[in-house]
Amino acid sequence: MTRIRRAMLLFAIVALLPVVTDALIQQQRAQIQVSITINVTPNPLGYAAPPPAATDTSVNGIVARMTINPKESPSHYHAESLVFDSGRWIAQSQGGIKVEATVTPNPNGTLLVSNVPGVQFGQEAGTVMTYPCAYIVTVTTTQTAWTLEHGLFSDFSGFSGSFTGHDAANKTHLTTGTPQPVYTPFIVYSGGQSWVIAASSGLTKSYCVDLQITLPISLAGGAYSTVAVYTLFY
Amino acid sequence: MLAAALVALALAFAAPPRVFAQQTGTVTTKWRDLPIVHIQLFTNYNAGCGTVPAVIGTQPTPHPGSDAICGNTTTPVDFGTVQAGSAYLYKYAVHLNVQSNDPTGCDIYGEGAADFYLSGTTSGSTMSASSLYYLPSGATSDTNTGFSPSTPFMLTSSPVGGYNEATAPSIAYTVYPAPIAVSGVSNSDFYWDYQLKVPFGATNGKSYVWVVYTVVGK
């Protein structure tokens, strides 16, 4: 190894040492989650919509009609193949659950916050939709060097099924900045992936999170959800 | 003699008795009985119920709020003290038992009858009903965390009757919302955990909300 190469290696080590040590000694300071719920409507291709329920009593809801002739002798009554379809009869039972909570201020104040606890979108199976600035994550601190990590905790799940969290992609950019040209799929923590850095910066910053959701065409209708997790280190 | 003649005259003009050919046939009569649907709601239905902060890794021991008692299935789901901007899981929150004579099953609806109100009041939202989420649980085991996927309750758009803090209100549906669960059999049980995702702007103090479950035979 020549002397010049040794010098360059030493310079690289010296230059990188503060970055590495800073990353190693950073501690988790705050963590928040933002729920992402997709209300999926089935794709109409191959979907046979059920007939509407008979909810009215107007002529449109009548499926059989009888006319009584008061002059007709009872002995001449004719009845052939009569079908009385009642339509949908409603039987229901109802009950309530009381839920309580006592809210107190957050000791971390506004260190790491989102503008909403969760977002909900309606989308048809088999489509790709983008949701610009679906939510905003803000770091409020005087620290000059911090790291914000993010990812999805799990795949999307609902009572109708599930789909991979990798079908959700994001552009996380300063609210005052220009979005990146392409979307990046979220990592899925419960799938064995590690959190990734959303931003390394300092002081107070707000980030728009643009979402792009790609739904499989075979997805059944219903609500599917997951949570995006944001963790602040410094 | 005269009387006999009159009787004979009357009989002569009287119409002969009507004679009909007897006809027989079958009549098929079908009807649909209104199915019977009966539900029972149980809160805090298992030991180990209560609030767990959303943390990754080893899960803290659940602790219900003071108004909730694990095993006392009529006590409220009480998250206790929560921090604005934080998320919580409530284990073994609600068990819904459905009994019906409808073999095709039932649709289950669940909605917030109102937003969260401060205790002692019936107006003035402290946080949205959609801050409360539900997710499947088990009868005696539960591996959920505060990060498990869940679905928010929606605030009903139908008329609500009798809303107050003490007793369960009712919702009068003309159009039902999307079901939160469906059953394909006549009798079934559903177990749910709740999650509370407290907005940063939530009003401090004790709040309450009523979640109304409606079960309809198919």
ipTM, 2 decimals? 0.86
| Residue at token pair 């590495």 | A20
CA distance B12 to B18: 16
The chain B residue lying nearest A38, using CA atoms, is B151
Give contacts of A95 with chain B, Cβ < 8 Å: 39-41, 168, 212-213
Amino acid (1-letter code) at residue A123: Q
By the 8 A CB rule, do A61 and A55 touch?
A: yes
Sign of the alpha-carbon torsion through B2, B5, B11, B13? negative
Q: How far is B166 from chain A (nearest CA, A)?
A: 9
Please judge whether A100 and B119 are an interchain contact, meaning their C-beta atoms are less than 8 angstroms apart.
Answer: yes
Measure CA B70 to chain center: 22
Give pLDDT tens digits for A141-161: 999 999 999 999 999 999 889
CA distance B205 to A118: 22
The predicted pLDDT at position B4 comes to 65
Other C-beta atoms closer than 10 Å to the C-beta of B39 total 19
The predicted pLDDT at position A37 comes to 97
pLDDT-derived band at A184 (thresholds 50, 70, 90) equals very high
By the 8 A CB rule, do A34 and A133 touch?
A: no
**Residue A226 burial class via C-beta count within 10 angstroms: exposed 0-12, middle 13-18, buried 19 and up:** buried
The chain B residue lying nearest A228, using CA atoms, is B147
Give contacts of A226 with chain B, Cβ < 8 Å: 149
Give contacts of A157 with chain B, Cβ < 8 Å: 149
Please judge whether B150 and A225 are an interchain contact, meaning their C-beta atoms are less than 8 angstroms apart.
Answer: yes
Please judge whether B152 and A229 are an interchain contact, meaning their C-beta atoms are less than 8 angstroms apart.
Answer: no
Other C-beta atoms closer than 10 Å to the C-beta of B138 total 13
The full DSSP string for B40-55 is EEEES-STT-EEEE--
Alpha helices in chain B (DSSP H): 2-13
* pLDDT reading at B33 higher than 80: no
Mean pLDDT for chain A overall: 83
Sign of the alpha-carbon torsion through B125, B127, B128, B134? negative
CA distance B151 to B144: 13
* pLDDT reading at A1 higher than 70: no
Q: How far is A181 from chain B (nearest CA, A)?
A: 29
Going by C-alpha positions, the residue among B92, B93, B95, B91 that lies closest to residue B77 is: B93
CA distance B160 to B122: 12
Please judge whether B197 and A118 are an interchain contact, meaning their C-beta atoms are less than 8 angstroms apart.
Answer: yes
Give pLDDT tens digits for B164-173: 999 999 999 9
CA distance A36 to A163: 13
Q: How far is A18 from chain B (nearest CA, A)?
A: 29
Both tokens of B120, joined, read 């002692």
The predicted pLDDT at position A24 comes to 61
Beta-carbon contacts of residue B71 (< 8 Å; ≥ 6 apart): B44, B45, B46, B47, B49
**Residue B30 burial class via C-beta count within 10 angstroms: exposed 0-12, middle 13-18, buried 19 and up:** exposed
Residue B154: strand, helix, or coil: strand
Both tokens of A12, joined, read 């690289």
Give pLDDT tens digits for A129-146: 999 999 999 999 999 999
Give pLDDT tens digits for A73-120: 544 444 444 444 444 556 889 999 999 999 999 999 899 999 999 999
Bridge partners, B175 (sequence order): none
Going by C-alpha positions, the residue among B215, B198, B218, B216 that lies closest to residue B207 is: B198
Please judge whether B94 and A158 are an interchain contact, meaning their C-beta atoms are less than 8 angstroms apart.
Answer: no
Sign of the alpha-carbon torsion through B75, B80, B86, B87? negative
Instruction: Output the CA torsion B199→B204→B208→B209 (10° steps).
Output: -30
Q: How far is A180 from chain B (nearest CA, A)?
A: 28
By the 8 A CB rule, do B171 and B158 touch?
A: yes
Interface test with A, best of B81, B150, B173, B198 (most A CBs within 10 A): B150
Both tokens of B125, joined, read 């939202």
Give contacts of A93 with chain B, Cβ < 8 Å: 37-39, 214-215
Q: How far is B141 from chain A (nearest CA, A)?
A: 18
The number of C-alpha atoms within 13 Å of A170 and in the hemisphere containing its C-beta is 26
Q: Which residue has the higher pLDDT, A64 or B64?
A: B64
By the 8 A CB rule, do B193 and B89 touch?
A: yes
